[in-house]
Amino acid sequence: MRLVFDLNASYLLKLLMILHLVLSPVSNEVPEHPCASPVSNQVFERRLIEKYIAENGVAPINGQPLSEEQLIDIKVSHPIRPKAPSATSIPAILKSLQDEWDAVMLHSFTLRQQLQTTRQELSHALYQHDAACRVIARLTKEVTAAREALATLKPQAGLIAPQATPASQPAAVGAGGEAMEISEQVGMTPEIIQKLQDKATVLTTERKKRGKTVPEELVRAEDLGKYRQVASHAGLHSASIPGILSLDLCPTDTNKVLTGGADKNVVVFDRREEQIVATLKGHTKKVSSVIYHPAQSVVFSASPDSTIRVWSVTGGNCVQVIRAHEASVTGLSLHATGDYLLSSSEDQYWAFSDIQTGRVLTKVTDETAGCALTCAQFHPDGLIFGTGTADSQIKIWDLKERTNVANFPGHSGPVTSIAFSENGYYLATGAQDSSLKLWDLRKLKNFKTITLDNNYEVKSLVFDQSGTYLAVGGSDIRVYICKQWSEVLNFPDHSGLVTGVAFGEHAQFLASTGMDRSLKFYSL
C-alpha cells in the first residue's frame, strides 16, 4: 500500500494513526522503528534504509539522492512486533493457538491454586478470630464476676469460710440438745429481730381475723376438677439446653410469671399479654430457684454457681449478688417483710441475708447431722422455717434464736420440696420415696401420708393463697383438697418431669413448668 506523504503536521498525524497498518516497501513488514523519506514520501524501517543509503546514496523507490539526515523519525506508542512470515501458515497458526490455550489453562490452574490457598488462610484467620472472641468473652465474664465479688466482699471471715463460734459466745442448742455452729457474718441485731417480731404479730392477727372462712372468689372444688390446659408456651428458654427448673408467680399480680431455666437464664413472662417481659442473664450455671417480690419490680434467683442474684425487672439487670454459700444453693424463700432472704445449700448451711445490702446476717449448720440441705421455706409468720436434708430429715428452725426446734423423720429418701399452708398449721413435704407427707405443726406429728405411684418424683409442692388446695408437681400434676386430702385433678400433659406448679389468684388458674421446656396454664 502506497501513501502520499506530506511534511505538514496534519499528514504526519494521520500517518501516526494508520502506521500500524503500513508495511515497509523494503522489507514488506510492519516497521519496528519507522522513519519517513521526504524524497519518495515512503515509510521505511530505519535500519534497512540507512544500509541502503550507505551503499547507494539514493532513495530506493525513485533513485533520487537521499541522506540519513533527511530521514524523519516517526514515533509510535507500543509498537507490535510483527509475526515472522513462517508463522503465517495454517500449521503454525494452529500451533500458536494450541500454545496460547495451554498458557491460558496453566494460568487458570495457578489462579485456582492461589484461590484455594487464600481460602485456607481466610478460614484459619476466622477460626483464630472466633477463638480470640471466646477468650475475650470468658475473661470479661471473669473480670465482671471478680468485680462483683469485690463489691460484695465483707470483712467478716465467715463470709469466705465459716468460723467456729468464739468461746465468749455460747453455741446454740438444737432439738435434742445437740450443738450447732453459728457463723455470724453481720449479726441478727435487736432492730432486725424486733422487725421480724412485729411483722409476725401483724400476720398472726390478720390470720385470726380471716378465721376459717375462705374467700368468696375462690374456685370451688367441683369447678377446679373441670380445669383443662388452655395455653402452652415453649419458647421462653433456650432449646439447646432444654428444661425449666423453677417457677413462681408475682403474689400481687399472678399474671406475671417467673421461670428459671437450665440455660442459666431467668425469664419474666406476662400471661395476659403472652409475651416475655425480661430475660435476665448472669448466672454461670442453671437456675434452680426463683422468687418474685410481692411489692417491688424485683426478682430473686439461686443457682448451683453458689450465688443468689437480685434482679431489677424494669432495668433488666442484676442489682445485687449475694454470696452466702460455698456450694450449690438448693433452696430460696423470701421473708414476709420483703427485706430478707432465706437460702439453703449443699455446703450444709442455711443463711439469712439482707437483700438491700447483699450482706449475710447469719449462717447456721447442724454439726451433728453433717448433711447437705436440699430445700428451705419460711412459715407464713416468718419466725420459723423448715429445711429438708439429703438424709430424708425435715428440720424446723427458730429464726430469732437460730436453733433447731423440731425434727420430722419419716421419709426414706432425700427431701425435695416443702410447703407451709397459709393457715400456719400444716406442713407438706415430698421426697424421693414416692410419698407425700402432711405434718401438724401444733402436735409435731405426721397425720397423713399420701403414697404416690412407684418411682413418682416429687419436684414441687405449693398451697394456694387460702390454704384450701395443695398442688404437687413431679411425674405429673396433681391437686388435692385440704382436710379431705382427696385428689381433685390430675394433668399428665407435660412430656418431661414437672419442676414447678403455682396457683393463680383465688386458684383461678394453675401454672406449671417442666423439663420439656414448656410453661402451661390450666383453667376452665
The predicted structure's pLDDT at residue 6: 41
Residue 76 exposure: Cα atoms within 13 Å on the Cβ side: 22
Classified as helix, coil or strand, 241 is coil
In terms of DSSP H, where are the helices of 153-259? 190-210, 221-224
pTM: 0.65
Q: How far is 108 from 102, CA to CA, in rounded Å?
A: 10
- Taking every pair of Cα atoms in the chain, the longest distance, rounded to a whole number of angstroms, is 146
Backbone CA torsion sign across 161, 167, 172, 178? positive
- Structural contact between residues 463 and 436, judged by C-beta atoms closer than 8 angstroms: no
Coil, strand or helix: which one is 236?
coil
Q: What is the pLDDT along the chain (524 residues), one digit of tens a residue?
A: 344 344 444 444 444 444 434 456 666 677 888 899 999 888 898 999 999 999 988 998 888 999 999 999 988 775 556 566 666 788 888 988 999 999 999 999 899 999 999 999 999 999 999 999 999 999 999 998 888 777 765 433 333 333 333 333 334 444 444 444 444 456 778 888 888 888 888 888 887 777 667 778 888 888 888 888 888 888 788 877 778 889 999 988 888 999 998 888 899 998 888 888 888 988 999 999 999 998 888 999 999 999 999 999 888 888 889 988 989 999 999 998 888 999 999 898 999 998 888 889 888 887 777 788 999 999 988 889 999 998 888 999 988 888 888 888 888 888 989 999 887 788 999 988 888 889 988 888 888 888 888 788 888 999 888 888 899 998 889 899 888 888 888 888 888 889 999 988 888 898 999 888 888 899 98
> Amino acid identity, residue 216?
E
C-alpha–C-alpha distance, residues 388 and 206, integer Å: 28
Of 497, 499, 496, 484, the C-alpha closest to 225 is 484
Q: So what's the pLDDT on residue 27?
A: 63
| Distances, alpha carbon 365 to alpha carbons 82, 185, 213, 360, 468, in Å | 103, 14, 39, 14, 34
- Cβ atoms of residues 179 and 368 within 8 Å: yes
Report the alpha-carbon distance of residue 275 to residue 273 in Å, rounded.
Answer: 6
The answer to whether 292 and 248 have CB atoms below 8 angstroms apart is yes
Report the residue count for the chain. 524
CA 102 → CA 86, 93, 109, 113, distances in Å? 21, 14, 11, 17
3-state secondary structure of 76: coil
